[in-house]
């Protein structure tokens, strides 16, 4: 697997963990919200309706007694008003109930309401006939029994709804506990995986890169004697390590070949210099003998023969120098090609390091995006905390209103207190989410720092590979210049060989004709002088070749192979 894929896989694992945590918390919050909605919009609403029914029952009972007591029209109107409100509230409550228990209690309330209405008709009939005693009897029997039955049924309804609210509270507590458990497990897993990812990145990316950087520093200092880098992976770092090893080995072989060839050039130059000095001394001696005496022609002929043999040896030496120079030229061409190949390897390594740098930059951008998303989760948690504060305030206002309602608002006060508790629990859960988000953000920052360190290491590797590429370019230029100088030396050696052959032929002719004419000695003297000048030129070339070989050796000695 490549470095970019490994970094992407690590980042995807972190993102999936965060998404799972957020989804589970979201499901828990939706469950809590559903329970709260059921408690507020369904159960509490039924309790409020039951309280209104109880209030209307009490008020209609009070006004029916007042009607019999004072017989005022206002009492009749008030009774009818509360009786109609009671019917409306019973009808509204009948639409809200859904459970079997509530339906049975609702049927009892309707039955007692009908009993009350029938008893009211009997009571009004007795009252209109002027029989208040019978009317009071109906009130104390039928009407009172009907009201008491409605009170008992509504009390059972309130008790049933309170039990349901307790069950809803238990579900909400379980959902909150589950959210806390999930958050804790997700936090532990996230921290563990984050540590494992950091250790994995350090082991598989940073450590191999540091090893390559150290080896590159040693090569930059001229040390090519170190062992090859062992990289077990086959990703970009493994390819970089193999290319680095090939580069080092090629460079080491190049330096060794140059050392051997430079030693051969230096030895050949010294041999050429010694030969030219010997030839110069011999030719000067011949010239002096020719100018001193013409009578010693035989001696001159003998000296000419010696000179011919010396020139033959010189020609053979010059021929060997030419052959060595041609061989050195071939080696220099091979060295130039090897240096160019090493430069291409450095270029490929530099391109690979650029790809690694680009992948690390992409990972760094994704980690920064993850930090921004964590910040958004924190803002959402703060919004939930604000909503719970407002819910708590509403619960407090509801409690105040219930206190104002007196005896009839006690049931609503209990509900308001339960809502306040739920709001506080929701606020606590939101605080837990905020703390979890802060810890996730801290882990994300740790991953971001690890990726930044990896990015710095990659950039250092790119710089070192670039420096190695510059060094290869310098070596290629030096080897190319040396090849040009060797070509010049080869051409000069060929000229020397040709000149030596000509001188040999001339000396043989002089040896054959020296016994016939001493006048030809002047021509020999001129030829010898020309030979002396040529040997001086050869000597100068040999000195230059020796100096160049020594300079090349000094430059090569800077490398340790």
Supply the pTM of this predicted model: 0.36
pLDDT interval class at 493 (50, 70, 90)? low
Average pLDDT over residues 219-241: 71
Average pLDDT over residues 124-153: 90
**Largest Cα–Cα separation, the chain:** 197
Tell me the domain boundaries of the chain.
221-561
pLDDT interval class at 196 (50, 70, 90)? confident
Judged against a pLDDT cut of 70, whether residue 471 lies above it is answered with no
Alpha-carbon distance 223 to 401, whole Å?
89
Quick: pLDDT tens for 363-388.
Answer: 667 667 766 776 777 777 677 777 77
Exposed e or buried b per residue across 31-45, where buried means at least 16 C-beta atoms within 10 angstroms of its C-beta: bbeebbebbbeebbb
Predicted confidence at residue 497, as pLDDT, reads: 62
Quick: pLDDT tens for 394-405.
Answer: 777 877 877 777
Could you tell me how far CA 101 lies from the centroid of its own chain?
61
- Which of 126-130, 354-358, 390-394, 470-474 is predicted most confidently? 126-130
| Residue 255, H or E segment | helix 236-292
Residue 431, exposed/middle/buried by CB under 10 A (0-12, 13-18, 19+)? middle
Q: What residues does 560 pair with on adjacent strands?
A: 223
Judged against a pLDDT cut of 80, whether residue 87 lies above it is answered with yes
* CATH superfamily ID and name for 221-561: Methyl-accepting chemotaxis protein (1.10.287.950)
- Which of 102-111, 433-442, 477-486 is predicted most confidently? 102-111
Predicted confidence at residue 115, as pLDDT, reads: 93
pLDDT interval class at 32 (50, 70, 90)? low
Tell me what the pLDDT averaged over the chain comes to: 75
Predicted confidence at residue 337, as pLDDT, reads: 77
Percentage of the chain lying above the pLDDT 90 cut: 10
Judged against a pLDDT cut of 70, whether residue 97 lies above it is answered with yes
* 50-64, 199-213, 224-238: least confident range: 224-238
Comparing 224 with 120, which gets the higher pLDDT? 120
Judged against a pLDDT cut of 60, whether residue 40 lies above it is answered with no
pLDDT interval class at 310 (50, 70, 90)? low
* 247-251, 385-389, 527-531: least confident range: 527-531
Cα 554 to Cα 253, 354, 355, 457, 551, distances in angstroms: 17, 36, 38, 35, 5
| Residue 194, H or E segment | helix 144-201
* 16-30, 424-438, 453-467: least confident range: 453-467
What is the C-alpha end-to-end distance of the chain, expressed in Å? 35
Average pLDDT over residues 178-189: 84
pLDDT interval class at 315 (50, 70, 90)? low
Could you tell me how far CA 61 lies from the centroid of its own chain?
78
Average pLDDT over residues 194-214: 78
| Residue 433 token pair | 């989410």
43: which residues sit within 8 A by CB, 6+ positions away?
A: 161, 164, 165, 168
Cα 547 to Cα 131, 232, 318, distances in angstroms: 152, 47, 19
* 143-157, 423-437, 487-501: least confident range: 487-501
pLDDT interval class at 114 (50, 70, 90)? very high
Predicted confidence at residue 287, as pLDDT, reads: 63
Comparing 40 with 239, which gets the higher pLDDT? 239
Predicted confidence at residue 85, as pLDDT, reads: 93
Judged against a pLDDT cut of 80, whether residue 24 lies above it is answered with no
pLDDT interval class at 469 (50, 70, 90)? low
Residue 166, exposed/middle/buried by CB under 10 A (0-12, 13-18, 19+)? exposed
Cα 395 to Cα 123, 411, 417, distances in angstroms: 44, 13, 7
Comparing 120 with 179, which gets the higher pLDDT? 120
Could you tell me how far CA 412 lies from the centroid of its own chain?
57
Predicted confidence at residue 76, as pLDDT, reads: 86
């Amino acid at each position: 697997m490549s470095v970019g894929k490994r970094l992407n896989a690590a980042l995807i694992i972190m993102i999936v963990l965060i998404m799972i945590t957020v989804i589970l918390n979201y499901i828990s919050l939706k469950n809590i919200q559903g329970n709260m909605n059921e408690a507020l919009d369904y159960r509490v609403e039924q309790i409020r309706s039951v309280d209104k029914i109880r209030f209307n029952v009490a008020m209609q009972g009070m006004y029916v007694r007042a009607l019999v007591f004072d017989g005022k029209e206002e009492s009749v109107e008030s009774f009818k008003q509360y009786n109609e409100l009671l019917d409306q509230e019973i009808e509204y409550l009948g639409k809200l109930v859904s459970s079997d228990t509530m339906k049975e209690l609702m049927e009892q309330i309707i039955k007692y309401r009908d009993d009350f209405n029938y008893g009211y008709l009997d009571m009004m009939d007795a009252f209109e006939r002027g029989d208040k005693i019978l009317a009071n009897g109906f009130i104390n029997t039928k009407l009172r029994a009907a009201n008491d039955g409605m009170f008992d049924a509504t009390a059972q309804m309130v008790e049933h709804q309170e039990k349901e609210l307790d069950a809803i509270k238990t579900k909400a507590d379980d959902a909150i506990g589950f959210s806390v458990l999930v958050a804790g497990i997700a936090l532990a897993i996230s921290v563990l995986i984050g540590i494992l990812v950091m250790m994995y990145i350090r082991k598989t990316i940073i450590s191999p890169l540091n090893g390559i950087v150290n080896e590159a520093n040693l090569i930059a200092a001229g040390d090519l004697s170190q062992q090859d880098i062992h990289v077990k992976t086959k990703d970009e770092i493994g390819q970089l390590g193999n290319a680095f090893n090939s580069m080092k080995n090629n460079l080491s072989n190049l330096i060794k070949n140059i050392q051997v060839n430079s030693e051969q050039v230096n030895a050949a130059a010294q041999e050429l210099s010694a030969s030219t000095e010997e030839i110069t001394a011999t030719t000067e001696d011949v010239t002096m003998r020719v100018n001193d005496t013409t009578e010693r022609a035989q001696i001159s002929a003998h000296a000419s023969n010696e000179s011919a043999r010396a020139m033959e040896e010189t020609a053979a030496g010059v021929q060997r120098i030419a052959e060595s120079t041609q061989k050195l030229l071939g080696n220099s061409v091979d060295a130039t090609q090897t240096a160019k190949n090493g430069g291409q390897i450095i270029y490929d390594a530099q391109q690979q390091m650029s790809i690694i740098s680009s992948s690390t930059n992409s990972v760094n951008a994704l980690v920064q995006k993850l930090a921004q998303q964590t910040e958004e989760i924190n803002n959402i948690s703060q919004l939930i905390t604000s909503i719970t504060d407002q819910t708590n305030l509403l619960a407090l206002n509801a409690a105040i209103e219930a206190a104002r309602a007196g005896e009839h608002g006690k049931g609503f006060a209990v509900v308001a207190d339960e809502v306040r508790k739920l709001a506080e629990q929701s606020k606590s859960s939101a605080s837990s989410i905020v703390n979890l988000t802060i810890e996730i953000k801290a882990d994300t920052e740790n991953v971001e720092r690890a990726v930044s360190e990896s990015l710095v290491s990659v950039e250092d590797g790119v710089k070192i590979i670039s420096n190695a590429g510059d060094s290869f370019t310098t070596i290629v230029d030096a080897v190319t210049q040396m090849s040009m100088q060797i070509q010049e030396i080869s051409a000069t050696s060929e000229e020397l060989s040709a000149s030596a052959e000509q001188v040999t032929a001339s000396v043989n002719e002089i040896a054959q004709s020296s016994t016939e004419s001493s006048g030809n000695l002047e021509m020999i003297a001129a030829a010898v002088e020309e030979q002396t000048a040529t040997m001086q030129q050869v000597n100068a070339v040999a000195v230059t070749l020796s100096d160049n070989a020594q300079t090349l050796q000094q430059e090569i000695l800077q490398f340790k192979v």
